[in-house]
C-alpha cells in the first residue's frame, strides 16, 4: 500500500483543513472509535437513573434499610462509571491516534483493527492519562484551595466578629490571583503534554518518556494547539447546546405543570444528546492533535524525508525515536 508522501510543514488553517478532510472521508471510523467513552457514560447514566428514579412524585430516599442499600449501590455505580470512563477514554484515545496515523499516511484501517492493535500499549496509555491527570488537576486543586480557604475564613471571621476577617479577605483576593494563575498553568501543562498519547502509540515509548517527548515536540506550537483545542471545544459546546434544546423545553414544562415525572423522557433525551455531541465532536481535537504531532516531526526531524527513504527502500538515518509510520498491519 503506497504511503502518502505529501507530508510538509502546515499552517494552522492547513491543519484544520486536513483534520476536517480526514474526518469527512472517514466519519464512521472516527465517530465509531470515539463512541466508546460517551457510550459507557450514557449506559451508566441510564442505569443510575433507573436505580435512583429521581423524577418520582414521592420521596426519593427514606430511612429504611432498602434505601441505605440503594445509596450504596448508587455510590458504587458512580465509582464504577468513573473507572469505566477512564479506561474508555484511554482506549479510545489510543485507537483514534492509530487510526489518524493510518489514514493520514495512506493506509486503510477499521475500528476493530485499531482497538486490537492498541491493546499491547494500553497500559502505557492509561498510565499517561493518570499521570497527566494528576499533574493537571493537582495544579487546579492547589489554585482553588488558595482562593477558597481564605474566602471561607473571611466569611467566618465576619460572621463571628473576629479580627482576622479583613486579613482573610485580602488573602482571598490574593488567592483569586493564584487561582487565575493556576488556570493558566493548567492550560499550558495540558497543552505541552497533549502529544504524549500520539508519542506513546506511534513511537512505542513508556509513560515518562512519552511525556518528556511531548514536552519537547510541542515547543513552538503551544498557541496553535490551544487554538485548535479551543475551536474543537466551541464546536462541541454549540452542538451540545443545540441538542439540549428539548431538555430545556422539558424543564419549562415540568415547572409549569409542577410534575417532576414529566421531565423523565427529556432527561433520557439529554443523556442521548450528550452521547451524540461527544461522539460527533470528539474526534476533531484528536485528529488535529495527531496531525500536529506529524507536523512537528516534519519541522524538527525531517520526518517526510525519512518516509520517502523508507518508501524507496533506503534505510533512514538511525534515530532514537520510532518510525511512527504503522505499516499495512
Per-residue pLDDT tens digits for 194-239: 999 999 998 889 999 999 999 999 988 899 999 988 988 898 889 9
Residue 223 has a pLDDT of 92
Q: Which of 25-29, 119-123, 142-146, 177-181 has the lowest mean pLDDT?
A: 142-146
- Mutual angle of helices 122-160 and 207-217, in 10-degree steps: 80
Q: Looking at the domain assignment, is residue 138 inside a domain?
A: no
Residue 72 has a pLDDT of 74
Q: Mean pLDDT throughout 49-55? A: 69
Please determine, for residue 325, whether its predicted confidence score (pLDDT) is greater than 60.
Answer: no
**Residue 95 pLDDT grade (very low, low, confident, very high; cuts 50, 70, 90):** very high
Distance of alpha carbon 41 from alpha carbon 117, whole angstroms: 24
Count: domains in the chain: 1
C-alpha cell recorded at residue 327: 505499516
* Better pLDDT: 113 or 59: 113
Residue 101 has a pLDDT of 87
* Better pLDDT: 302 or 130: 130
Residue 313 has a pLDDT of 43
Q: Looking at the domain assignment, is residue 34 inside a domain?
A: yes
Please determine, for residue 167, whether its predicted confidence score (pLDDT) is greater than 90.
Answer: no
Residue 156 has a pLDDT of 64
Contact status, residue 281 vs residue 17, Cβ threshold 8 Å: no
**Residue 316 pLDDT grade (very low, low, confident, very high; cuts 50, 70, 90):** very low
Mean pLDDT of the chain: 80
Q: Name the percent of the chain lying above pLDDT 70.
A: 78
Q: What is the dihedral of CA 255, 257, 258, 261, to 10 degrees?
A: -100
Task: Report which of 234, 275, 232, 247 is spatially closest to residue 85, judged by C-alpha positions.
Answer: 275
Q: Domain limits at 294?
A: 12-129+220-311
Q: Looking at the domain assignment, is residue 2 inside a domain?
A: no
Distance of alpha carbon 253 from alpha carbon 199, whole angstroms: 50
Please determine, for residue 261, whether its predicted confidence score (pLDDT) is greater than 80.
Answer: no
Q: Mean pLDDT throughout 294-317? A: 60
**Intra-chain end-to-end CA distance of the chain, in Å:** 11
Residue 130 has a pLDDT of 93
- The string of DSSP letters for 216-242 reads HHTTT-HHHHHHHHHHHHHHHHHHHHH
Choose the most confident range, by mean pLDDT, from 48-57, 133-142, 257-266.
Answer: 133-142
Residue 52: Cβ within 10 Å count: 16
Q: Looking at the domain assignment, is residue 94 inside a domain?
A: yes
**Residue 314 pLDDT grade (very low, low, confident, very high; cuts 50, 70, 90):** very low
Residue 214 has a pLDDT of 94
Q: pLDDT (tens digit, 9 = 90+) per residue, 6-20?
A: 567 888 888 899 999
Q: pLDDT (tens digit, 9 = 90+) per residue, 177-192?
A: 888 898 999 999 999 9
Contact status, residue 323 vs residue 24, Cβ threshold 8 Å: no
Q: Looking at the domain assignment, is residue 280 inside a domain?
A: yes
Residue 56 has a pLDDT of 54
Please determine, for residue 92, whether its predicted confidence score (pLDDT) is greater than 60.
Answer: yes
Amino acid at each position: 500500500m503506497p504511503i502518502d508522501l505529501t507530508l510538509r510543514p502546515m499552517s494552522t488553517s492547513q491543519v484544520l483543513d486536513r483534520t476536517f478532510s480526514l474526518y469527512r472521508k472517514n466519519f464512521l471510523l472516527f465517530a465509531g472509535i470515539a463512541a466508546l467513552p460517551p457510550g459507557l457514560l450514557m449506559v451508566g447514566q441510564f442505569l443510575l437513573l433507573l436505580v435512583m428514579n429521581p423524577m418520582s412524585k414521592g420521596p426519593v430516599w427514606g430511612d429504611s434499610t432498602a434505601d441505605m442499600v440503594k445509596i450504596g449501590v448508587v455510590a458504587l455505580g458512580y465509582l464504577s462509571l468513573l473507572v469505566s470512563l477512564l479506561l474508555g477514554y484511554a482506549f479510545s484515545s489510543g485507537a483514534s491516534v492509530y487510526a489518524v496515523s493510518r489514514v493520514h499516511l495512506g493506509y486503510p484501517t477499521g475500528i476493530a483493527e485499531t482497538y486490537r492493535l492498541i491493546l499491547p500499549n494500553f497500559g502505557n496509555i492509561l498510565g499517561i492519562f493518570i499521570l497527566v491527570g494528576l499533574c493537571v488537576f493537582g495544579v487546579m486543586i492547589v489554585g482553588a484551595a488558595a482562593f477558597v480557604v481564605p474566602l471561607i475564613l473571611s466569611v467566618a471571621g465576619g460572621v463571628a466578629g473576629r479580627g482576622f476577617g479583613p486579613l482573610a479577605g485580602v488573602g482571598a483576593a490574593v488567592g483569586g490571583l493564584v487561582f487565575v494563575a493556576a488556570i493558566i498553568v493548567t492550560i499550558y501543562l495540558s497543552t505541552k503534554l497533549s502529544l504524549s498519547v500520539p508519542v506513546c502509540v506511534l513511537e512505542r515509548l513508556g509513560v515518562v518518556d512519552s511525556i518528556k517527548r511531548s514536552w519537547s515536540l510541542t515547543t513552538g506550537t503551544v498557541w496553535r494547539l490551544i487554538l485548535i483545542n479551543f475551536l474543537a471545544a466551541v464546536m462541541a459546546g454549540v452542538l451540545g447546546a443545540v441538542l439540549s434544546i428539548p431538555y430545556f423545553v422539558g424543564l419549562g414544562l415540568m415547572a409549569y405543570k409542577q410534575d417532576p415525572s414529566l421531565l423523565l423522557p427529556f432527561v433520557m433525551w439529554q443523556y442521548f444528546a450528550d452521547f451524540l455531541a461527544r461522539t460527533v465532536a470528539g474526534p476533531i481535537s484528536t485528529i488535529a492533535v495527531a496531525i500536529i504531532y506529524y507536523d512537528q516531526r516534519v519541522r524538527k526531524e525531517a520526518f517526510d524525508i525519512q518516509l520517502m527513504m523508507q518508501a524507496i527502500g533506503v534505510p533512514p538515518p538511525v534515530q532514537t525515536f520510532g518510525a511512527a509510520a504503522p505499516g499495512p498491519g
